[in-house]
Amino acid sequence: MNKKVLLLFVLLISVVSFAQQERKLELNKDTNLIDVTYYHDNGVISQTGTYTLDGKLQGEWLSYDTDGKKSISANYDNGKKVGKWFYWNNTTLKEVDYTSNTITSVTEWDNKTSVAIRN
C-alpha cells in the first residue's frame, strides 16, 4: 500500500469517526487543554484525546471499535501527526511513523507476532 493510499484511508477513518458522535468535553485546568471522549451509538467509547484551546488535536488519541478494543493509537503536536501511530485489526498491527504530518515509514506485523497484541 503506498503512502498516498494509506493517508487517504487514515483521513477517511478520521472523518467518519468524528461525524455525528455523542461526545463529552472538559477543560483540563492543569494542562490548559480540552479533554474529549467520543462514544459509539452503543455507548462504548470510540475515541479519547485532547484539543488545544484553538481546536487543534494535541497529544495521544486512542480509537476503539464498537466492542471497546483499541483500534488506533495516534499522536499529534499542535494539529500535526507525529511519532508512531498504530493500527490494529483482526489480522495485523500496522505501525506508521510520522514527522510533521509526513509518513516516514510503515511496518506491518501479523497477529501471530507477539508485538501485535493489543490491550
* Cβ(82)–Cβ(104) below 8 Å: no
Q: What burial letters (b/e) apply to 75-101, b meaning 16+ CB within 10 Å?
A: bbeeeebbeebbbbeeeebbbbebeee
Tell me the C-alpha distance between 56 and 74, whole Å. 14
H-helix segments, the chain:
3-18
Task: Please report, in tens digits, the pLDDT of each residue of the chain (119 residues total).
Answer: 555 555 445 555 555 545 556 889 999 999 999 999 999 999 999 999 999 999 999 999 999 999 999 999 999 999 999 999 999 988 889 999 999 899 999 999 886 655 555 55
The partner residues of 118 in beta bridges, in order of sequence, read none
83 SS3 class = strand
Give the architecture (CATH level 2) of 3-116. Answer: Single Sheet (2.20)
Task: Report which DSSP code applies to 21.
Answer: -
> Residue 73 carries which side chain, given as an amino acid letter?
S
